[in-house]
Each structure stands twice: as C-alpha cells, then as structure tokens.
Structure 1
Amino acid sequence: MTHESPAGVVRRQYLASAAGDLDALRATLAPDVEWKEMAGFPLAGTYRTPEGVTAAVMQQLGKDWDDWTAHDDTYVVDGENVVVLARYTAVNKATGKPIDVRVAHHFVVRGGLIVRFEQFVDTALVRDAMSA
C-alpha cells in the first residue's frame, strides 16, 4: 500500500476539477471538510461535506462560467499544509467577459484527504467580469 503525499492529493483534486469529474473530486475531500471561498468572491462562504462543496461551489461555477479552470502552477508544502499558486481562467456566460486571475489556495491534508481549504483571490477582477 502506498501513501499518497499531501501534494499528490491536492494535485488529484485539481485534475478532477479540470476534468469535471465531481465524483473523483469528492473522493479527495474528508467527510467533515471545511471549504472557505473568500469574502467578496461570488460564492463567498464556508461549505462542509464533499457533496456540499461540489454543489455550492463547483456546480455553481459551471452555471455561471464557461470553461472555469483552476490552473495549479506552484506547490509549497510544509507537512500537511499545501499552498498552491494558481490562476483561474473562464468566460462569464452572462457577459461574455473572460478572466485570467492569479490565486493562492491553502489546503490542509490529513490521512490522505483534504480537511480544509481556503481561497485567496482578487475578487474585484472576478466581479468585473460578471458586470455588464
């Protein structure tokens, strides 16, 4: 039996998200996951349970945006903490405006599952793309 590294678990989450595979994404999340979308972000709030996270975040992004993708660029790992420097790209369905915005994500991985996530993003750029 191999033990997947915290960075490996996080990478698997990004790959599942990019593929639109919500079952695979949920499989990376702990049953009591705490997922925080940043204040000012359109989906701001704290979500719990793998089903709650995918319903409130990933499925909602799919309703409002075409091709929403989180591109994971750089990983900084310290034990169970994984910080990923990334960027979001997408096109807003209502306005047709694209985004390409830098983000940072902080994950805590314990026992091979993501137990906590916190998003840091320039929310003004995302909201601008949503405004006509």
Structure 2
Amino acid sequence: MTYDFDTSPVPADVVRRQYLASAAGDLDALRSTLAPDVEWTEMAGFPLAGTYRTPEGVTSQVMERLAAEWDDWAVHDDTYVADGENVIVLARYTAVNKATGKAIDVRVAHHFTVRGGLIVRFEQFVDTAKVREAMR
C-alpha cells in the first residue's frame, strides 16, 4: 500500500513528517504534527529535562532553545519500529555547542504515541552525560 507522505495518518509517517519539519526548521509544519494536548518529555539529566505541553510549548521550549544553544542541531532518524500507535525511532543527535565549541554525536531512542494522525506523546532516551560533557 502506498501513502501520500504529506497527509498519511499512518503513525510512522506522522513521526517522519515531524523529523523532516524539524530538520527544515519549519516550526509551523512541526506543530501541525502535534496534538493540542501533546505531552513531550525530555529525559531527566538532559539540558531541557521536563515535560512540555501544547505544540507551541514544545517548539518554544525545546526546538527554539536547542537552536539557541547549539549549532547544526540535527536528529538522524535511521530505524523505525512501529506497533499500532507506538513508534520507536533509533537515531543520533549531532550538534556543536555554541558556548564551548564541543561537538556531540550520541545515540538516542524516541518513543512516540500517535493517535488520529497526531503525536500525542513523546519520550526521549539519550546518554545525557555525553550531551552535558559537550556543554562544559
């Protein structure tokens, strides 16, 4: 079965659209993938640790802050595992910290829950020590 990638409600396609929007810096497109009551959790120990709600809250408190603190922040999503509304993505973060000039290249796992064609929940798993080390 073939899906129109721009409109498909298939959970993995929705998640992929979110990554593409983020990579393009298109925060409006990114917000369009998020449910109004989204819960976006950055892992304890990560510089932006916490749970953010609403599409605007996610983009202003996560994406915009990452862009302000890191050069060339990128998520390289390479493996998707989908089971119903759950999508696990294995990926890497790469970036250079603006304050220290130190680079990161760390593996991450993201767990998304997609309902009705929108991301309702996100949880990040990452080696926070490597990220923090680049900030010192």
What is the TM-score normalised by the length of structure 2? Answer: 0.94
Asked whether 1:33 is paired with 2:33, we answer no
Q: Which residue of 1 aligns with 2:127?
A: 122
Q: Which residue in the other structure is 2:80 paired with?
A: 75
* Deviation of the 1:34 alpha carbon: 0.2
CA-to-aligned-CA distance 1:44-89 (integer Å, 9 cap, x gap): 0000000000000000000100010111000000000000000000
SS state of the match for residue 83, structure 1? strand
Aligned-residue CA RMSD in angstroms?
A: 1.1
Amino acid at match of 2:119: I
Alignment partner, residue 102 of structure 1: 107
Percent sequence identity is: 82
Counterpart in the other structure of 1:23: 28
Corresponding residue pairs, total:
131
Q: Which amino acid aligns with 2:120?
A: V
Q: Structure 1: give runs of 5+ residues left out of the alignment.
A: none
How much does 1:3 deviate?
Answer: 4.3
Q: 1:4 offset after TM fit, Å?
A: 2.5
Gaps of 5+ in 2: none
Q: Deviations over 1:24-61 (max 9, x none)?
A: 00000000000000000000000000000000000000
State how far apart, in whole Å, the 2-side matches of 1:3 and 1:98 are: 35
1:84 to 75, 84, 89: 89
Q: Which runs of 4+ in 1 moved over 3 A?
A: none
